[in-house]
Amino acid sequence: MNEKMVFSLNMDVAMNIPAEILRTMYMTMLRIRKFEERAAERVSNKEIICPCHLYIGEEAVATGVCSALRKEDYVFSTHRSHGHYIAKGGDIKALMAELYCRATGCSKGRGGSMHLASPAVGLPGSSAIVAGTIPLAVGAALAFSVQKRDNVSVAFFGDGAANEGTFYESLRKN
């Protein structure tokens, strides 16, 4: 397939998505970007002192995946979890409070930027360990299956995760 054919196929898919869904997705991406820009500014000004790994440039990934999920579906994230939390419906004020390590934060001030957790929105946890949440997502999927629930479990991970043993172990079917 050449580039022109791929673009044409992508346009055919996009044309079948209702305009309201596309607007909602655009607003989610914009919300993530604006939050990340504000967080970056506050880190630069040393207002936020916890280590902070931003999600700028990846907004469409979280938005696209999470727009297909329900609230009861699970998302397991990495150290760049802000976008996943927001795309899953998390409260932006609670996220900012978390970056300030406040008790009103989405993880009660204990997770900081890299270890967000908010079971209420379907984010049981995130981890700074490369590939660390892949087996957790697989375990959640197995639990959903055993319980005969139609929930979905998603693992977000970067390219470095494919070099970790847990990635391959999680793919293995017994």
**Would you place residue 66 in the very low, low, confident or very high pLDDT band (cuts 50, 70, 90)?**
very high
Copy the structure tokens of residue 44.
């630069």
Whether 27 has a pLDDT exceeding 80, the answer reads: yes
Give the CATH number of domain 3-171; options: 3.30.420.310, 3.30.560.10, 1.10.620.20, 3.40.50.970.
3.40.50.970
The listed range with the strongest mean pLDDT (7-21, 140-154, 155-169) is 140-154
Assess whether pLDDT exceeds 70 at residue 4.
no
Q: What is the mean pLDDT of the chain?
A: 93
What is the layout of strands, in order, in the sheet containing 153-155? 125-126, 74-77, 153-155
Whether the predicted pLDDT of 173 surpasses 90: no
Q: Phi-psi region for residue 101, left (φ > 0), alpha (ψ -120 to 50) or beta?
A: left
What residues does each domain of the chain span?
3-171
Question: What whole-number distance in Å separates Cα of residue 106 and Cα of residue 140?
Answer: 21
Q: What is the pLDDT of residues 98-119, one digit of tens each?
A: 999 999 999 999 999 999 999 9
Query: Minimal CA–CA distance to 106: which of 127, 132, 125?
Result: 125
- DSSP conformation class of 159: G
Which pLDDT belongs to residue 60?
97
More confident position, 145 or 17: 145
